[in-house]
Amino acid sequence: MLSRKLSTALVATLALLLSAASANAATAPGLGSAGTFAVLAGTTVTNTGPSVIKGDLGVSPGTAVTGFPPGTVSAGSIHSADAVASGAQDALTTGYNSAASAPTTATVPDVGNIGGETLVPGVYTSASSMMVDGTVTLNGGGDPNAVWIFKAGSTLVTGSASRVVLEDGAQPCNVYWQVGSSATLGTGSTFVGTIMALTSITVTTDVTVAGRALARNGAVTLDSDTIAPQACGATVTPPPVVVPVPVTKAGAPGQPVATPPVVVTLPAPGCGCVTAPGGTTPAAAKYVIIGQSKHCHVTINQTTGKVTFRADKGHYGAFTVTVQHGMTVTVVHFAVKKKVEKTVAKRMKCWMRS
């Protein structure tokens, strides 16, 4: 297990330079045709166990791809030393060099552990190795176009169960890790971003990567992992919408009452939120209730998207209905108050379902 103690030098350096990182926004390196690849290697791709790769998988100039099956490739194809893989390697080299030349906005001390830090957008550079032990949080400051580039002079290592967490508008598609030799992701870790390694990438058991594992000259080794590139798209939470929820006035003291039906129209798929990778929603998608509170009845008109809600007699308080339409998930919150003849508020928000 990697040490969880941040060096004093790292804390001081990041504290001094975070404002500079914010002021000098990083520019995303272009991936070109390598952007369709979830996994790309120079010599071999080796897999053990039921790894799930969502995107292209390729190798060039090497030819060996082993372990598929039991591994699976969806939303893409396997390219072994063909023109597509060769072109992707050329594009990867361009992207790697672009990231390597990005001006540094914050220096990470050698073998610096950035776990435990909250980092604003910028270019973070370590002359040798870089570690992620624990949780590192990337805060976008409300900007969905914010970019992070992490440059490790030699290795990138993440600890077991370590996490890269995004908040306040940060997106996986805008996080890049340029590695001067090899990268190793620890068991059970959750990683975000595109790794561009000069040599090799080892993804140990049960790792989830919202991004890519791209190695220029060496191998990519997998073991029961999930690797899925994420499309860019602004994540927007719709503002609260007030919906009238009439409540029948109570009769005799203590007598429960039932609410009349309330009709709410769901937003169209997308509703300003992130949709499926590629920005599309399946044409045949229907409104499907995937969760709801107890003691209420909900129906949905599949043509209009209108949701009819009614609380059971004698039940009050907060009710939640969760609906999926294609790759969009919408949560509707109802509040029913006892013995109150007035409207109450409902909130609605949605996000991408992975």
Instruction: Among 227, 248, 283, identify where a domain stops.
Output: 227
Length of the chain counted residue by residue: 354
Question: In this structure, are 274 and 150 located in the same domain?
Answer: no
Same-domain status, 95 and 220:
yes
- Is 245 among the domain residues? no
Of 110, 170, 99, 107, whose CA–CA distance to 137 is shortest?
170
Do 282 and 200 fall into the same domain?
Answer: no
Q: What does the buried/exposed string (b/e) look like for 157-177 if buried means 16 or more CB atoms within 10 Å of the residue's CB?
A: bbbbebbbebebbbbbbbbbb
In the chain, how many domains are there? Answer: 2
Are 194 and 269 members of one domain?
A: no
- C-alpha of 109 from chain center: 28
Domain presence at residue 325: yes
Could you tell me which residues are beta bridge partners of residue 55?
Answer: none
Q: Based on the domain organization, do 196 and 309 belong to the same domain?
A: no
271 in the same domain as 198: no
pTM of the model: 0.64
Same domain membership, residue 195 and residue 65: yes
Q: Is 84 exposed, middle or buried (0-12, 13-18, 19+ CB in 10 A)?
A: middle
* Structural domain range at position 303: 262-352
Per-residue pLDDT of the chain (354 residues; tens, 9 = 90+): 433 333 434 433 343 333 334 445 789 999 999 999 999 999 999 999 999 999 999 999 999 999 999 999 999 999 999 999 999 999 999 999 999 999 999 888 766 799 989 999 999 999 999 999 999 999 988 888 999 999 999 999 999 999 999 888 889 999 999 999 999 999 999 999 999 999 999 999 999 999 999 999 999 999 999 999 988 863 333 333 333 333 333 333 333 334 445 555 555 443 333 332 333 333 344 677 766 777 777 777 777 777 777 777 777 777 777 776 655 566 676 677 665 433 344 445 444 444
Quick one: which of 96, 84, 74, 100 has its CA closest to 33? 84
